[in-house]
Amino acid sequence: MPTTEEVRSDLAEIVNEVAGVPVDDVQLDKSFTEDLDVDSLSMVEIIYAAEEKFGVSIPDEESKNLKTVGDAVAYIERAAS
């Protein structure tokens, strides 16, 4: 079971690859849209890459609730457990 920090770090790599956001900026309290300037299409790409990376399913209706990096990390941790 990966730690919260490991999930955050892997997710940060994905956000960096898709949207070009510096890895160190992708912290748990950051909002994808407000703080990291990730648009809705990039969010779709991030969710897809996260599903592949962590072996979880994130339905469309759930992904709308993932406002912050912390929301996404918590969802992935729950879904993977």
> Interface with other proteins by CB under 8 A: which residues?
39-41, 44-45, 47-48, 60
When the beta carbons of 6 and 39 are compared against other proteins, the nearer one is: 39
In the complex, least distance from residue 79 CB atom to other proteins, rounded to whole angstroms = 17
For residues 5 and 39, which CB has a smaller minimum distance to other proteins in the complex? 39
Nearer to other proteins, 8 or 76 (CB): 76
Alpha carbon distance 66, 10 (integer Å): 16
